[in-house]
Each structure stands twice: as structure tokens, then as C-alpha cells.
Amino acid sequence: MAKIEFPKEKIELKAAPTRSKVSGAAFGITKFILGILLLPFVYSTTISFLSQFDLIDKSLQSYFWSGVIAFLIVYLFVWEPAKIYAKGQRILELVFRFFAPLVRVAPYVLPVYFILISVGFLLFSLAVKTEEFSSSGIFLFGFSLSLHLVFSAKTMRSRQGDFLKANYIFGFSLVYIINLIILAFVLNLIFANFSFTVFFNHSFQKAADLIYAIYKQLFVQ
């Protein structure tokens, strides 16, 4: 009787996608859990930032929020500046092209236009100290940071095969926290009333308290 030999290579090729799907699902679940764990920090950094931001001049606060609102009006009713966002991503890709891991991450994490505006603001403020210049700069802070956050969220949300939306929950939570930290650092350099140290410490403490409260409610009788 002739011996039947099964095509091993074909069997291995079929098994590989299955293993890939399983590992992808496991990685997605891990990122989903990490994303959930980041949510207390999203809350704490927001609350801590607002408490510090409230200490600066009220008129400048209004210019910042006007920048945020202006971007949302342009984005929702006038024009989606997707090409502007894409050009900013290319700038960061060129800057980090020698370090492959950062080429993929930096365009989403770092708000390139906000960073450029901040550097220009800090340099020009040494020579020009007028109320009009300060209000324009703060307005652009709100506009540019909103541009980055909105398009980063849109890009992450539109990715295909995002198991449990893990990439979106984890990725955007991380981007939001890092962007708020960058904004707080810049405001600390500009305004004497804004303390980055207080913001950072309070953010960590509030997140730790919230996580402990949730843990106590779920597991401690």
C-alpha cells in the first residue's frame, strides 16, 4: 500500500495565521487593559491642569479656550485641515528618521505645531512683550493643540482590525496625557503662577487615590 504524505508546508502556512490572530488578540486585550488603567490618569491630569490653569490671568485663559473653539468651528463647519496635520507628521518623521521606533510613535505623540509655536513664542517674548503678542500666542496654543489631538484621535480610531478598540483607548489616552504634560511644562516657563511640579504631583496623587478607591470598592469588603 502506498504511503500517503501530507503537505507539511501547507499545514504550517495555515497554522501561522491562526497563531498570529491569537497573539494579536492577546496583545489587543493587554493594550485594552492598559488603556483602562490609563483612564484615571486622564482624569487626574485634566483636573490638575485645570486647577493650575485657573491661576493665570483670566483674559489669557479665555484666549486659549477661544483657540480651542476656533479650531473646532473650522474643523466641523468650514474645512478639515488634514493636509496641515499630515505635513506636521512628515516633519517629525524626518527629525526621527534615524531612530525607527520613534518614527512610528512621534508623529502621534508630539504636537509638532504646538512645539514650534511654543519655541517661537518663548524666543520672541524675550524681545517683544506686549499684551497683543501674548494673547495671540496663547490663542495659537489652544488652536494647534486641538488640531493635533483631534486628528490623532481620528487617525487612531479609523485603524482597521483594532481588537476591542484597544489601540484607540490606550493610544489616545497616552497621547492626551503626554500632550497635557507638554502644555503644562510650556505654561510653567511662561507664567509664574503655573507650577509644573504641583501639576505633576497632584496628577499622580489624584490618579493613585482614584485607583485605590476603585480597588477598595471592588475587592475590599
Mean pLDDT over 157-185 rounds to 84
pLDDT, mean over the chain: 85
pLDDT digits (tens, 9 = 90+) for 77-120: 999 999 999 999 999 888 888 777 777 888 889 999 999 999 99
Whole-number Å distance between alpha carbons of 53 and 183: 10
126, exposed or middle or buried, with CB in 10 Å at 0-12, 13-18, 19+?
exposed
Q: Among 121, 64, 116, 120, which Cα is nearest to 87's? A: 116
When pLDDT is cut at 50, 70 and 90, the band that residue 160 belongs to is low
Condensed to tens digits (0 to 9), the pLDDT of residues 12-38 reads 445 455 666 666 667 678 888 888 999
User: Looking at residue 131, what is its pLDDT?
Assistant: 66
